[in-house]
Amino acid sequence: MAEQVVRPAGAGHEALFVALACAVIVALAAAVIGARQTPAQRIEVAAHQLDARDDLLAAEQGLYADLRLVPGELADFGDRPPAVTELAEALLPPFVADVGTAWRGDHAWTLIEHGAASAYLGLSAAPEVAGSMLLRLSGPADAGEADIWLNRSPSASPPARLDTEYLVHGGWQQVVTHFDAGATRHRH
Amino acid sequence: MPDALPSFPRRRMLAGLALACALPARVFAAVPKRDKPLRIGVTLHPYYSYVANIVGDLAEVVPVIPAGFNPHAYEPRAEDIKRIGTLDVMVVNGVGHDDFAERMIAASEKPNLPVIESNADVPLLAATGLAGRAGSGTVVNPHTFLSVTASIAQVNTIARELGRFDPANAAAYQANARAFARRLRQLRADALAELAGVPNAEFRVATIHGAYDYLLREFGIEVTAVVEPSHGIEPSPAQLKGTIDRLRGLDVKVIFSEMDFPSAYVDTIRREAGVQLYPLTHISYGEYEIDKFERETARNLATVVRAIREAAQ
């Protein structure tokens, strides 16, 4: 009995077209993804600065968040920066002596004033948990806005001056932060 | 370059108020005089409480998401987008928990509706889970509304910005915000006072949902592990086994679970890893109420205090 193999018309072509279509779709998808990709933006900070998000320990991040609120609260205390005890009585962290203080480095807080400049200094009893911190309220012309500094040295001591150059030379690092809108938002 | 403390006046709020009064007229020229109360949109329950406490009865607070929806799985509906057309301004979390708001505004009758970025002055923490491990420095943990300190920072920002839209009531908004902040500080102080004398156990904690880093930072506690592989995503069986092994290896004794969105696999973790489970609330479920944030924050603080006390025993 004679057999004749009848191949579907254009079978080879169909397979080729399907393969080509797949390749085109994959290439297009890759091109679109590649075109829309944005590099992860890293905020670079200066050598004397620390990024609050990436460079601080957990306890330091908590203290930093608390300290940032302090300058806005000082209006209730008159013209001069209040003593630490007054801030504690107003329940302002991190000046309140509670476990929130004890477990985050057990800082000893004092108000230091040098001329027109003043700052709240918290010397850490446990630098491995959280370094010593300095909330500089005002200072020489280079200081600008209130800011927060960190020194992880176990031998950190009260700075004799509060200008930026002196603090940097003394091993203090300015803590900075930045805002990032939600990753799936368009208007940043 | 990042800012050190961008939003704070150097010394005195009074000086700031005086400065605001002295600002050129053009700053406020674009703000029309209001003949009816401001209508302020909010997306999440904590923001309803924040704004309601700030404005009192001087403005209207309008939740954009109806009560009962899970904000993790919310898909904007036509009627919700329609409601945006009636607003004067929208207050947003803006750092990942309500990104849908931007698209809703764009699709609404008011695509240029002003938005208040509540978290503009909050030092944001890195995202937890896969997003955090990917090392993307711009993906942040959006749960700032679960901490007292970050909430006060947001309340201050919202009050200041609302004052720009409604200058006639700006002083009242500021005063209300300060009173609200004092009550929040009292909540935190009361909770921490209950831990007086408890030794620093340095115990390790895990959380089911990557939501509580901001809150636990106030106690000096760092989250060792987060069970959910990504925000609001349940782990696969393989991931669950890996998590249980990790909890055992890290000697985690306490795990904070999710009160509002319970999952069956949490019991498996408790049983297999031998950890103690403490449920916290995400403050994102149920009716919108002015005192919801204070009530549920007090409950969260009490739960953390109980976990610490029992772990120290």
B135 and B212 part of one domain: no
The verdict on B85 and B114 lying in the same domain is yes
Residue extents of the structural domains in chain A: 49-176
Identify the DSSP state of B3.
Answer: B
Q: Does B43 share its domain with B182?
A: yes
Q: In this structure, is residue B122 part of a structural domain?
A: yes
Across the interface, of A52, A145, A187, the residue whose CB is closest to B10 is A145
The CATH number linked to B152 is 3.40.50.1980
B64, B172: one domain:
yes
Q: β-strand B38-42 against A147-151: which pairing, if any?
A: unpaired
- Whether residue B31 lies inside any domain: the answer is no
Q: For residue B80, what are its two tokens?
A: 């919700």
- Per-residue model confidence as pLDDT tens digits over B56-97: 999 999 999 888 777 777 878 888 899 999 999 999 999 988
Euclidean distance between CA atoms A94 and A84, whole angstroms: 10
DSSP-derived secondary structure for A46-109: -TTEEETTTSS-HHHHHHHHHHHHHHHHGGGG-SSPPPHHHHHHTT-TTSS-SHHHHTTT--EE
Is the link from the previous residue into A94 a cis peptide, with omega within 30 of 0?
yes
C-alpha distance from residue B299 to each of B146, B195, B302 (Å): 11, 15, 5
Q: Tell me how close the Cα of A152 comes to any Cα of chain B, in angstroms.
A: 17
Mean pLDDT is lowest, of A121-130, A133-142, B260-269, for: A133-142
- CA–CA gap between residue B10 and residue A141 (Å, rounded): 12
Residue among B5, B182, B192 whose CB faces A71 most closely? B5
Each residue's pLDDT tens digit, A84-113 = 999 999 999 999 988 888 889 999 999 999
Question: Tell me, what DSSP letter sits at residue B73?
Answer: S
Q: Does B2 touch chain A (CB under 8 A)?
A: yes
Number of domains in chain B: 2
- Torsion of the alpha carbons at A157, A158, A164 and A169, rounded to the nearest 10: -30
Instruction: Looking at the structure, tell me whether residues B143 and B225 fall in a common domain.
Output: no
Mean pLDDT of A63-92: 92
**Category of A96 on φ-ψ map: left (φ > 0), alpha (ψ -120 to 50) or beta:** beta
Whether residue B201 lies within 8 A of chain A, CB to CB, comes out as no
Task: In whole angstroms, give the CA distance from residue A104 to residue A102.
Answer: 6
Residue B64 included in any domain: yes
Interface contact flag, B217 A61, Cβ < 8 Å: yes
Give the whole-angstrom CA distance, residue B302 versus residue B311: 14
CA angle (A181 as vertex; A180, A185 as ends), nearest 5: 145
What is the per-residue pLDDT for A135?
96
Which of A43, A65, A99 has its CB closest to that of B195? A99
- In whole angstroms, give the CA distance from residue A147 to residue A55: 16
C-beta separation of A183 from B139 below 8 A: yes
Domain span at residue B260? 197-312
Task: Give pLDDT, residue B257.
Answer: 87
Give per-residue pLDDT as tens, B31-53. 555 678 999 999 999 999 999 99
Return the pLDDT at B11. 43
Contact between A121 and A109 (Cβ < 8 Å): yes
pLDDT for res B32: 53
Mean pLDDT calculated for residue range A59-72:
94
Digit-by-digit pLDDT tens for chain B (313 residues) are: 444 454 434 444 334 434 343 443 333 444 555 678 999 999 999 999 999 999 999 999 999 988 877 777 787 888 889 999 999 999 999 998 888 899 999 999 999 999 999 999 999 998 875 555 544 467 889 999 999 999 999 999 999 999 999 999 999 999 999 999 999 999 999 999 998 888 876 778 888 888 899 999 888 888 888 887 766 677 888 888 888 888 888 888 888 988 876 677 888 888 888 888 899 999 988 899 999 999 999 999 999 999 998 888 7
- Considering B143, B166, B190, which residue would you say is the last residue of a domain? B190
Residues on chain A touching B219 (C-beta within 8 angstroms):
99-100, 103
Identify the pLDDT of residue B40.
97
Tell me if chain B has a CB within 8 Å of the CB of A155.
no
CA B304 to CA B148: how far, in whole Å? 13
| B56 plus B174 within the same structural domain | yes
Asked whether residue A49 carries a pLDDT value surpassing 50, the answer given is yes
Q: How far apart are CA B48 and CA B267, in angstroms?
A: 32
> Residue B295 corresponds to which tokens in the numbers above?
């009530």
Q: Which of B149, B173, B190 is the last residue of a domain?
A: B190
pLDDT at A186 over 80: no
User: Do B169 and B262 reside in the same domain of the chain?
Assistant: no
- Please tell me which residue, A46 or B12, carries the higher pLDDT value: A46
Last residue of a domain, one of B190, B205, B240: B190
Cα angle B90-B94-B99, degrees, rounded to a multiple of 5: 90
Q: What is the mean pLDDT of residues A154-165?
A: 93
